[in-house]
Amino acid sequence: MSRTLVEVKNLKQYFPIKVGFFKTVPLKAVDDVSFTVNEGETLGLVGESGCGKTTVGRSILRLYEPTDGQVIFDGEEVTKKNITGMRRKMQMVFQDPYSSLDPRMTVEDIIGEPLDVHHLCSNRKERRERILELMNFVGLNAEHARRYAHEFSGGQRQRIGIARALAAEPKFIVCDEPVSALDVSIQAQVINMFEELQEKLGVAYLFIAHDLLVVHHISKRIAVMYLGKIVEIADSDELNEHPVHPYTESLLSAVPIPDPKITKARKRILLEGDVPSPLKMPTGCAFRTRCRFATEKCAEECPALTDRGDGHFVACWNK
């Protein structure tokens, strides 16, 4: 068994929203989320837009100061006071390769900035060699070092962002939809690169994405989010073959399969209604307004995430 590297306990992230001159209400972007990531493991985090996936990643790294809850990294609780020292070991690859790179900096300066901030190189020669080594890691040539971000394609820019994240030799990287802005052919290259880097460096990932096929391919375990809460966590193969939560079943039924016979034979599970506003959350289970199995108990009390065996956790009263 691998050692636990990141442990998230009851994480909450509420944002105050003005609804009048003197009144604010909390927008519950992340509400009581708990999970673990082991050393060298990839945990996939999936869910529809606005469910709180990115907010979870940013809250773990203290890019947002959490409203409540704990994040324990490598046996030590992450706090506002010690996050500066921990940033070297926890990095992030941002979703948009176009806006996450400074247009006024060369590739060499972008990748070299973490080296400068954490004082990882003793002289210019060592710094230059380390930058070229990182560029080679992610498939960039040495002549790219003097160029600016706007001179590159989306896939190349994302490689620059990955090289920057790797510069400080992290143990844990939050990958926030790192391939969603890329072409399918480039997606495959970047996913394969993530896997190769994990084998070489033993880095752990929290891999946030919409594409369930991509997440299934790269992740050892998958967590499914809905309206700020995790509704199911299981081994990647187990979740795809035996989903339990009605929301997970619906998500997996929407995954396209490149076989017309299988596609014709299987049944789509269509959800009725719209996603409720996080400002006006329904009582009890957040999914009950769209669930075909909802009962009175679902409206009265929110189900806890319970172990159904072999590490398969589900938050549902009726499944």
User: Is residue 265's pLDDT more than 70?
Assistant: yes
Per-residue pLDDT, 58: 94
CATH of 4-89+170-314, one of 3.40.50.300, 3.40.50.2300, 3.90.550.10, 3.40.1190.20: 3.40.50.300
Residue 39 CB neighbour total at 10 angstroms: 15
Average pLDDT over the chain reads: 89
Q: Where in the chain is the domain with CATH 3.40.50.300?
A: 4-89+170-314
User: pLDDT class for 138, splitting at 50, 70, 90?
Assistant: confident
* Cα–Cα distance, 196 to 185 (Å, whole number): 17
Region 223-241 average pLDDT: 94
The pLDDT of residue 1: 57
pLDDT of residue 184: 79
- Residue range 49-58: mean pLDDT, rounded: 92
DSSP β-bridge partners for residue 229: 226
pLDDT at 81 over 60: yes
Distances, alpha carbon 305 to alpha carbons 223, 224, 247, in Å: 11, 12, 14
Q: What percent of the chain has pLDDT over 90?
A: 53
- Is the pTM for the entire model greater than 0.85? yes
